[in-house]
Amino acid sequence: MTVMKSELIKLLDFPRQKMTASMELHQCAHNGFFDETDIRCRTCYQGGECTWVNHNDKLVALEDKTLSDLTAQIVLAMDFIDATLEPEHEYQLKCQCDNCSWLTQANNALRALDQSEANSN
Ligand SMILES: [Zn+2]
């Protein structure tokens, strides 16, 4: 099974929405657009998520990104989604909630990717 880029790009939708929703943009001078020349951005406590969202914004040509770049973004997003789970709500394969089913999809995609890479070597 080969993983299509479009599949990975589609996977980025959910964490993008979650991150955008979790950012407190009323405190942001740039309305969520990371500006690396601004010291406030570089020291912002929300920095990581903002960078991720901007890196993976719909406006950015995701199709042009390499498979390994997209994979790296998925891995980052998995950490983020995993961190948003309630402490008493551990990730479970069988759980149907948004977060768990996304994590399952992301896991599957990464595993399929590993296999297709192993096959092509
Ligand atoms: Zn769940």
| Mean pLDDT for the chain overall | 82
**Burial of 82 (C-beta count, 10 Å sphere; 0-12/13-18/19+):** middle
Distance 106 CA to ligand 1 centre (A): 14
Distance 105 CA to ligand 1 centre (A): 13
pLDDT value for 43 = 77
pLDDT value for 62 = 75
* CA atoms of 22 and 48, how far apart (whole Å): 12
* CA atoms of 119 and 121, how far apart (whole Å): 6
The answer to whether the beta carbons of residues 12 and 53 sit under 8 Å apart is no
Distance 103 CA to ligand 1 centre (A): 9
For 86-113, the pLDDT digits (tens) are: 889 999 999 999 999 999 999 999 999 8
For 20-45, the pLDDT digits (tens) are: 777 777 677 777 677 778 887 777 76
The more confident residue out of 10 and 49 is: 10
Does the pLDDT at position 1 exceed 60?
A: no
Domain ranges across the chain: 5-120
- Hunting for tokens 């399952």 — which residue is that? 104
Distance 59 CA to ligand 1 centre (A): 30
